[in-house]
Amino acid sequence: MKNLTLEVSLKPFYGLNAKDTQDACEQALKQWSSLSKITEQISILLWVADGSEILDYKGHLDTPMEWARFLGNGNAHLHPKIPGDPEGKSLHARSYLYRDDATQLITYRRLAEIGDCWRKAIISTGKSARVGLTFDPGGEFAPSSFKYERHREVCLADTLGKASFVCCYGVLNRDTYPYAGFPDGVPQDTNMGTFLGRQFAHIAKDLNFDYLWLSNGFGFGMETWMTSGPLFDGEHFTPEQAPETRDRILQFWKDFRKECPHLELETRGTNLSTGTDLASDATPLRELYEGDFNFAPPPNSPWAALNGDFGLELAGYLSRVVEQPKGKPMPFRFYIHDPWWLNSPWLDRYEQQPHDIYMPLSISRLNQAGGIEVPETLNLLSIDDSYGHMPDSVPNGTTPHLLRAWSERPDAAGPLVWLYPFDQLHDAMFLEPRQPERLFHNDWFVREAINNGLPINTVVSTRAFGNSDNKTKTALAGKILISPSPFDNTTEQQLIDWVESGESAIIYGPLTQAPELRRKLELESASPLSGAMHVNANYNLIDHTDIKAGSSEYTHCPIMSSGGLSESPTGKNAAQVVAEQEGNTRALVAHYVSQADGHIWWLRAPLPLRMEKDQHLPLPDIPGTSFNFGALNRQVLGKLGWNVAFERQSLSQLAPAMTVHRQSNGWFFSGYTPDTTVGLKLKTPFGAPLFLGTETWIEENTSTYRTPRGWRYECRVFVEQPESSLLSYKEELPGQFGVTRRMWVHGLKEATLRFFPPTDSGEVTIWLNAEWPYVFGNTASYKETQTPHGRMIETTTPIQGTVLFSW
């Protein structure tokens, strides 16, 4: 770990003298000492207020300042009346002091003292130290006279009501307030970048701070919480404004860095994804990464903590880390306490289950050299709760999972890899013809797919995939590419070459810019259709259920689905699934097989989503009222050997989200099961996967599991057998000198086993029906092969009963 950041408010330090403050800092570091041992550096990120302490700083240390001493909304005027709360008692309608005696403001001198105590405490552990401040564009955390009285003109975003969030490209009107960087007041038409950069440079120098954290999307556009924005009102895109809006965002960064050229910057990023941000806000992530602005890239968003939307969290995370600012490590952020809104996600939202640790820490990207890159820095928001308490139960509960997930980060690509057109998305927004609908669809398809069980957790950019030395393609051998339909002829040819070489891909979206792929799939361009559609699918749904399949109807929305349906089948076998409207037929699924047995499964992939007024995110159709495209995605995946199916009693039951990543030649399955009555059925090209430490019923070479809410299982054994049976797969103690590890499999019936030993293992012995002390007896014969997925041991004779893997 390159850096561990402990985020903390000032609440734990209220009323403490210097010695007690120092003791509190040292005690907090002891709570997280197991994580501190594996990091090179410890940082403290102070949530003082909402950044107004920076905006208001006059340059005098004994000046009083407001701070986040409240529960709930620090600027309640931002919210209208809340339905169901006529007396305004909720935290969103007003604020409460977090303790009765927290009536006093603090001074900048006291803030500096708290920062110095943290620095001394970290240095005493032998680690290098950093202390930073936060700037938040909103008004959730503390009253702000700067934002909502003196300079409401820079609050361009309506995120929490009208004019509630500061926009990075806002322009200040003149005032006469004496700021540290502007002692005679702000000149008319001063840019926010200039003002914030100069003010932070002063406060950092005077109070000894090392870096600034830009919170809640600040610096990345205007409406950074919402799907809509200045270029998208929920119904219409206005992409002609994209170049001008892009330039205004970039100007903020140029202005900030002119005033504050050397201090470190870290960023929270938006709640959404690269494609969505481009389409709605013209966020030029490519130009920001390549612009020498020297900032750490955004981590994962907190969506899973807020509403369980792992599709949005993981798709957004993958889309942002697919390329990185030069020399900057990939970050990961975990939400354990909220210092303002009376929730502690680890204790309440997560129910003390580790899904939001294991799933995002299974993320990886392939770089242009074919190497795997994973998160290297960890932020913990926050180590104190809304009352300023730092309960031992939270570090005690989360640390084992964080340590395990960190040690098991991926070292190779997963079985499914998202081919992300990072450059092409930017070009499609800033060059003619502009295609915002395609950008939106590019990312929201993967969001929907993940939320419906498709295990996507590795990403590679088209820039890396097209690297001429082929190192990336070598690392991708045997993997299934999940790719949007090409934006250009170069990517189209690369995908065709990939499939003609014997590899496989699932391609989604319209083929308007991929004429050769369209020809191979036996499709032709036709007039686009929208509106009410009937889906004709000649297959049995992959999900195992006694309920009806649901509706065969849906309404095609062009704004959500990258235009109308315009691919028409030309051959009798061209389209596996079609949409029909008044005698017109359009393809939804098509298939191509190359001479080298490479496969393309193409999905038109409509998104039955809709935007509604005042909703931050698109809303899906009610389950059962429209065709289940999520199951269709997994149906196609099953054709390529990876079956992911669910057992449920109602279509309203939410599907598990899942990742599958590789580490030390093992397969690690992680997931979030929002409804624990839903069963999971899995089959792979190697057979039924066995989860270590579980029992499973094997039927038709498919394993069945009931999982808790959050889960991770190691898998190294896959089974194929002609009969059904109950299998158990569990750890055994080494129990013999020279043996590192052992694993049992019980209940086999004429089975073939495929075993993926750890990369550092020596010779493997497979004992048959072994008896204690497991040092002699019959052994199974096997052959060893080097597959595209790593070293694999496969038994060569049918096995009945029990085996003990030993190495």
Task: Give the integer Cα–Cα distance in Å for 472 and 373.
Answer: 12
Give the pLDDT band of residue 807 (cuts 50, 70, 90): very high
Q: What is the pLDDT of residue 718?
A: 98
23-33 per-residue burial string, b: 16 or more CB within 10 A, e: under 16:
ebbbebbebbe
What pLDDT score was predicted for residue 544? 56
Two tokens, residue 677: 């009555």
Query: What is the reported pLDDT for 740?
Result: 95
pLDDT at 764 over 90: yes
What pLDDT was estimated at residue 545?
54
Share of the chain above pLDDT 90, in %: 87
The region of weakest confidence among 394-403, 469-478, 584-593, 737-746 is: 469-478
Dist CA 717 CA 666 (whole Å): 9
Residue 83 pLDDT level (bands cut at 50, 70, 90): confident
Q: State the average pLDDT over residues 506-534.
A: 97
Nearest Cα to Cα of residue 454 among 318, 546, 553, 556: 318
CA neighbor of 249 nearest in space, from 226, 270, 234: 270
Percent of residues, the chain, with pLDDT higher than 70: 98
Mean pLDDT value across the chain: 95
Q: How far apart are CA 339 and CA 134, in angstroms?
A: 14
Dist CA 793 CA 801 (whole Å): 19
Q: How far apart are CA 421 and CA 293, in angstroms?
A: 23
One CATH from 3.30.420, 3.40.50, 2.10.10, 1.20.120 for 416-636:
3.40.50
pLDDT band at 549 (very low <50, low <70, confident <90, very high): low
Q: Which two tokens stand for residue 355?
A: 């899904």
Residue 425 near residue 680 (C-beta atoms within 8 A):
no
Going by C-alpha positions, the residue among 324, 326, 198, 219 that lies closest to residue 263 is 198
Q: What is the pLDDT of residues 317-353, one digit of tens each?
A: 999 999 999 999 999 999 999 999 999 999 999 999 9
pLDDT(548) > 60: no
pLDDT tens profile 630-671: 889 999 999 999 999 999 988 889 999 999 999 999 999 999
Helix (H) or strand (E) holding 589, with range, is strand 584-593
- pLDDT number for residue 573: 67
Domain 3-61+107-134+191-362+375-407 has CATH 3.20.20: yes
Which SS3 state, helix, strand or coil, does residue 649 take?
coil
Mean pLDDT of the region 105-121: 98
Q: Is the pLDDT of residue 480 over 70?
A: yes
Rounded Cα distance, 204 and 170, in Å: 23
pLDDT per position as a tens digit, 281-300? 999 999 999 999 999 999 99
Report the pLDDT averaged over residues 399-423: 98
What are the tokens at 386? 């809304």
Query: Residue 165: pLDDT band by 50, 70, 90 thresholds?
Result: very high
Question: Model confidence over 770-790: pLDDT tens digits?
Answer: 999 988 889 999 999 999 999
Sequence spans of domains, the chain? 3-61+107-134+191-362+375-407, 416-636, 659-806
**Is residue 75's pLDDT more than 90?**
no
Q: Is the pTM of this model over 0.85?
A: yes
Q: Is 394 left (phi over 0), alpha (psi -120 to 50) or beta?
A: alpha
Of the two residues 111 and 158, the one the predictor is more confident about is 111
Among 334, 332, 357, CA closest to 344: 334
Strand pairing report for 531-537 and 657-663? unpaired
Cβ–Cβ under 8 Å, residues 26 and 13: no
- Place 73 in a pLDDT band, splitting at 50, 70 and 90: confident
Q: Report CA 436 to chain centroid distance, whole Å.
A: 22
Is residue 540 very low, low, confident or very high in pLDDT (cuts 50, 70, 90)?
A: low
Name the pLDDT band for 542 (thresholds 50, 70, 90). Answer: low
Cα 764 to chain centroid distance, Å, stands at 37
| Least confident residue range of 55-69, 373-387, 539-553 | 539-553
What gap in Å lies between CA 3 and CA 5, rounded to an integer? 6
pLDDT digit string, tens, across residues 603-621: 999 999 998 877 789 998 8
Q: Under the phi-then-psi rule, with left for phi > 0, alpha for psi from -120 to 50, and beta for the rest, what region is 84?
A: left
Check: CB of residue 467 under 8 Å from CB of residue 368. yes
Residue 88 has pLDDT above 80, yes or no: yes
DSSP-derived 3-state class of residue 602: strand
